């Protein structure tokens, strides 16, 4: 699942932070966020970029919402990797850290999920401090407090994170209308355009 051997962005992994219903419900734009994250997850799967999910205290707060796991499985029986944690930073959890950095040799974290100023912020900061490349998918993030999200994102950019819309990343991977996945990819773009 996490193999990045055949990835079009070697060493990259899309890490979806805490996409659990209990957090989603608290977002002011839950519908938009859900749609954009589903797009990013489906596009990553289509193009061969590995995907994983963190879950904050899932035994108490519940697992990742089903639409995201379904998007990652893509009609197969593959079970997406779900990584439990009780730290706000995914990389402050030794197990997750070892899974991502040691086992799967992740060198580039592509981040989406909730909340930008808390778990996304702390994960991105730890990743930057661990010399990983960090790219934040600007349309796939949310927070209870949108102004806080804007300031936290700006701070991460100043600290060295990349911030780009998901379509910009995936259109760059596709590169040309001759790419074998071009038609399927444009179908995804349209499916999630409303």
CB of 175 within 8 A of CB of 18?
no
Shortest distance in whole angstroms from residue 103 CB to a second copy:
22
Q: What does the alpha-carbon distance between residue 78 and residue 46 come to, in Å, rounded to a whole number?
A: 14
Shortest CB 41 distance to a second copy, Å:
18
- Interatomic CA distance for residues 107 and 101, integer angstroms: 7
Beta bridge partner(s), residue 112: 16
Quote the least distance from Cβ 98 to a second copy, whole Å.
17
Identity of the residue, 32 or 79, whose beta carbon is nearer to a second copy in the bound complex: 32
Least distance CB 119 / a second copy (angstroms): 8
Cα separation, 119 vs 87, whole angstroms: 8
Q: What does the radius of gyration of the chain's CA atoms come to, in whole angstroms? A: 15
Nearer to a second copy by C-beta: 15 or 125? 125
| Rounded-to-integer distance, Cα 68 and Cα 40, Å | 10
Cβ-based nearer residue to a second copy, 47 or 80: 47
Residue numbers at the binding site for a second copy (CB under 8 A): 56-57, 86-89, 92, 117-118, 121-122, 125, 138-139, 144-145, 147-148, 151-152, 154-155, 157-158, 162-165, 167-168, 171-172, 174-178, 193
**CB 110 to a second copy: min, Å:** 14
Q: Closest CB to a second copy among 102 and 178? A: 178
- Residue 10 or 160: the one with the smaller Cβ distance to a second copy is 160
Cβ atoms within 10 Å, residue 25: 9
CB of 134 within 8 A of CB of 163?
A: no
- What would the two tokens of residue 179 be? 């790419």
């Amino acid at each position: 699942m996490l193999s990045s051997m055949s990835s079009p962005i070697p060493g990259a992994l899309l890490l979806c932070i805490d996409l659990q219903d209990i957090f989603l419900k608290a977002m002011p734009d839950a519908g938009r966020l859900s749609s954009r994250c589903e797009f990013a997850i489906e596009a990553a799967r289509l193009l061969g970029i590995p995907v994983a999910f963190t879950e904050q205290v899932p035994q108490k707060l519940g697992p990742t919402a089903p639409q995201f796991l379904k998007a990652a499985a893509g009609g197969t029986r593959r079970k997406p990797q779900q990584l439990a944690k009780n730290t706000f930073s995914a990389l402050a959890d030794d197990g997750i850290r070892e899974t991502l950095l040691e086992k799967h040799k992740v060198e580039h974290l592509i981040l989406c999920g909730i909340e930008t100023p808390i778990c996304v912020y702390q994960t991105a900061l730890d990743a930057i401090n661990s010399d990983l490349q960090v790219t934040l998918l600007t349309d796939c993030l949310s927070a209870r407090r949108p102004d806080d999200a804007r300031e936290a994102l700006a701070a991460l950019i100043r600290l060295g994170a990349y911030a780009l819309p998901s379509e910009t990343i995936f259109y760059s991977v596709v590169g040309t209308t001759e790419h074998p996945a071009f038609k399927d990819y444009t179908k995804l773009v349209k499916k999630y355009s409303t």
